[in-house]
């Protein structure tokens, strides 16, 4: 016990050293003017024959009448669609070897490990990162996996050779799971899990108020080691959101209870029965991250339905689409297309994979739209980004054009004429 308490300061130093990773990273110094395309800034109405000017890795200007500096690289996007890079808020890319079982870096053992950040398990060399870019995705928010309180999500820009050049934050949100998956952590009942959450949050606040007593061992036994309680504090101070996974209506209501009691900034995730509670979710100002094609009933969500996203949005809820399809992260845009198929407006669907996740995860001042000053993550599309006819033609991350060649490209080239001649 003593050793753990002495570890308190050490834990803080460790967290700080990890936070050093949140450096500006590498921003391209090149000046690029993307001209002639239809620009969808997301933060404002679309611009016909607009220009997006990129300087020093940032968006310098967006509009129909942008002065292009001498020496800028001009990219003709006439007839193309220009959008912010997409943000996948439910990604796992880089924390695995493809999707292979047994290689995941997403979680550690234990039910209560909120101090865990998977950042240093992220592999910039993972081939799936380039595959993900071919879906127009430039930023991933990767949550740790685990039964109950598995850690903090990271945000990463999806191009670069080193973690330091890619990571935006090693802790954009605290993850908490309600529902069937965390029953055991609470002793076998959802009610037990709720009680455990309240105890952890209350103990973290108590610990924070009484650090001196803690060091003198003048405090009651806490619900978790200090390093874990410490990791809850950013969320309890509203510096980061808490992502609460909850699908059943009752679990969503439990989540909203916690949001009210602890005045949390929260993001509901899953929420397959969110449509039943849409007004209350809107009232609480809680965004919802969901899979818009989830409609198969389970006892975690008998009311799953395809227009969940639409019904939530109509109630005034900020919707984040955060699901790859069977092919993984790169299919995010098709999920947004399916939300449109099932009633959402096209503009809202694009927002749900750009500005909505950026804002919910505290990155809205730097990401999610094409506005002067934002990080220059930009995609030029051959056609509608939400439909099958459109493909990314150029993907810029932090102002630099990235490669869209993947293992798949090389396999295609090798086998497009049969019989193959190996060299």
Partner 1 sequence: MARWSVPVGFGVLLAACAGAGAQASPQSPTPAADQAPETFSDTLSFMRPQYPSTYQRRPNPPVLIRNANVLTAAGPELRGISVLFQDGRIVGVGPNLQAPAGASVVDGTNKWVTPGIIDTHSHMGVYAAPGTQAESDGNEATNPVTAEVWAEHSYWPQDPQIPLAVAGGVTVAQVLPGSANLVGGRSVTVRLVPGRTAQEVKFPDAPYGVKMACGENPKRVYQNRGPSTRMGNMAGYRAAFINAEQYRQRWDKWLEERKGDPPARDLRNETLAGVLRGEISVQNHCYRADEMAQMLDLAREFGFKIRSFHHGVEAYKIADLLAAAGTAASVWADWGGFKMEAYDEVMENLALLQQAGATTVLHTDSPDGIQRMNQDMAKAYYAGLRAGIALTREDAIKWITANPAWVLGIQDSTGTLEAGKMADLVLWSGDPFSVYSKAEKVWNEGWLVFDRLDPSRQIQTDFNLGHARPGVGR
- Chain contacts with partner 1 (rule: CB under 8 A): 98-101, 128, 273, 276, 293, 295-299, 302-308, 310, 325-328, 330-331, 334, 337-338, 340-343, 386-389, 391, 407-408, 411-412, 415-416, 418-420
Q: Among residues 265 and 330, whose Cβ is nearest to partner 1?
A: 330
Answer yes or no: are the C-beta atoms of 342 and 311 closer than 8 Å: no
Q: Among residues 258 and 304, whose Cβ is nearest to partner 1?
A: 304
Q: Among residues 1 and 389, whose Cβ is nearest to partner 1?
A: 389
Please count the CA atoms within 13 angstroms of the CA of 1 that sit on its side-chain side.
Answer: 11
User: 330, 337, 319: which is closest to 385 by C-alpha?
Assistant: 337
Which contiguous run of DSSP H or E holds residue 351?
Answer: helix 346-351
Closest distance of CB 274 from partner 1, Å: 12
Q: Among residues 73 and 391, whose Cβ is nearest to partner 1?
A: 391
User: Which residue(s) pair with 379 in the sheet?
Assistant: 83, 395
Closest distance of CB 64 from partner 1, Å: 28
Beta strands in 30-93 (DSSP E): 32-39, 47-55, 58-63, 73-76, 81-84, 86-91
The sign of the CA dihedral 86, 248, 110, 229 is positive
Q: Among residues 183 and 305, whose Cβ is nearest to partner 1?
A: 305
Cα distances from 153 to residues 149, 170, 285, in angstroms, run 11, 7, 21
Closest distance of CB 402 from partner 1, Å: 18
Q: Among residues 73 and 302, whose Cβ is nearest to partner 1?
A: 302
Please count the CA atoms within 13 angstroms of the CA of 194 that sit on its side-chain side.
Answer: 16
Q: What are phi and psi of 88, to 5 degrees?
A: -100, 110
Q: Angle 396-319-350 (CA atoms, 0-180°, nearest 5)?
A: 35
d(CA 242, CA 158): 23
Q: Among residues 187 and 327, whose Cβ is nearest to partner 1?
A: 327
Q: Among residues 13 and 388, whose Cβ is nearest to partner 1?
A: 388
Closest distance of CB 159 from partner 1, Å: 20
Closest distance of CB 91 from partner 1, Å: 14
Closest distance of CB 320 from partner 1, Å: 19
Beta strands in 79-149 (DSSP E): 81-84, 86-91, 137-142
d(CA 423, CA 418): 14
* Exposure b/e, 43-72, CB count within 10 A at least 16 = b: beeebeebbbbbbebbbbbbbeebeeeeeb
Closest distance of CB 410 from partner 1, Å: 10
The SS3 assignment for 394 reads strand
Closest distance of CB 327 from partner 1, Å: 3
Closest distance of CB 331 from partner 1, Å: 7
Q: Among residues 112 and 380, whose Cβ is nearest to partner 1?
A: 380
Closest distance of CB 396 from partner 1, Å: 20
Answer yes or no: are the C-beta atoms of 365 and 345 closer than 8 Å: no
User: 230, 311, 330: which is closest to 19 by C-alpha?
Assistant: 230
d(CA 153, CA 160): 19
Q: Among residues 73 and 411, whose Cβ is nearest to partner 1?
A: 411
């Amino acid at each position: 016990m003593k050793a753990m308490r002495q570890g308190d300061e050490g834990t803080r130093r460790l967290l700080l050293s990890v936070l050093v990773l949140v450096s500006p990273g590498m921003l391209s110094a090149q000046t690029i003017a993307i001209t002639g395309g239809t620009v969808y800034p997301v933060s404002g109405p679309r611009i016909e024959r607009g220009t997006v000017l990129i300087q020093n890795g940032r968006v310098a200007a967006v509009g129909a009448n942008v002065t292009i500096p001498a020496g800028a690289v001009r990219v003709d996007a006439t007839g193309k669609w220009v959008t912010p890079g997409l943000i996948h808020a439910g990604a796992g890319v880089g924390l695995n070897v493809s999707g292979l079982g047994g290689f995941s870096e997403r979680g550690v053992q234990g039910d209560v490990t909120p101090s865990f950040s998977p950042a240093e398990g992220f592999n910039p060399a993972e081939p799936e990162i380039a595959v993900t870019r071919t879906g127009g995705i430039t930023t991933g928010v990767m949550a740790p996996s685990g039964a109950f309180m598995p850690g903090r999500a990271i945000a990463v820009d999806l191009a670069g050779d080193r973690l330091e050049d890619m990571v935006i934050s090693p802790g954009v949100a605290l993850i908490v799971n309600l529902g069937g998956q965390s029953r055991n952590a609470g002793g076998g009942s959802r009610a037990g899990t709720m009680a455990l959450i309240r105890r952890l949050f209350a103990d973290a606040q108590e610990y924070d108020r009484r650090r001196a007593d803690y060091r003198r061992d003048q405090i009651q036994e806490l619900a978790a080691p200090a390093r874990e309680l410490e990791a809850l504090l950013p969320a309890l101070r509203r510096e980061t959101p808490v992502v609460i996974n909850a699908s059943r209506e009752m679990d969503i209501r439990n989540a909203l209870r916690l949001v009210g009691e602890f005045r949390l900034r929260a993001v509901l995730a899953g929420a397959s029965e969110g449509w039943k509670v849409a007004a209350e979710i809107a009232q609480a100002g809680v965004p919802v991250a969901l899979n818009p094609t989830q409609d198969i009933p389970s006892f975690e969500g008998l009311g799953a339905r395809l227009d969940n996203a639409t019904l939530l949005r109509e109630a005034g809820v900020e919707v984040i689409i955060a699901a790859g399809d069977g092919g993984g992260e790169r299919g995010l845009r098709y999920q947004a297309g399916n939300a449109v198929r099932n009633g959402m407006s096209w503009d809202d669907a694009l927002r749900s994979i750009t500005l909505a996740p950026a804002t919910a995860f505290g990155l809205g001042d730097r990401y999610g739209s094409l506005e002067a000053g934002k990080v220059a993550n930009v995609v030029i599309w051959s056609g509608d980004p939400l439909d099958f006819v459109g493909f990314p033609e150029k993907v810029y991350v932090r102002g630099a054009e990235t490669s869209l060649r993947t293992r798949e490209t090389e396999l295609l080239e090798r086998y497009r004429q049969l019989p193959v001649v190996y060299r």
